Amino acid sequence: MLLNTQNQLLPSPKPEHKTSNIKPEVIDLISSSYKNPVSPE
C-alpha cells in the first residue's frame, strides 16, 4: 500500500531516490545477480 502511494507521488515510475547514490553499473550487477544467483564458492 505504502509503496503504491509513493510511486504515485514520484514523477518517475522507479523510486530513484533510494538508488540515487548507487552507480548504474552496481545496479546492473545487482539486477544480474537477482536474475542469475551466483552460488558461493
Look up residue 33 and give its three cell numbers: 545477480
Look up residue 28 and give its three cell numbers: 546492473
Handedness of CA 2, 5, 10, 15 (dihedral sign): positive
20 DSSP 8-state letter: T
Handedness of CA 38, 39, 40, 41 (dihedral sign): negative
pLDDT digits (tens, 9 = 90+) for 1-41: 455 555 555 555 555 555 556 677 877 877 776 666 666 65
pLDDT of residue 10: 53
Q: Where are the domains of the chain?
A: 2-35
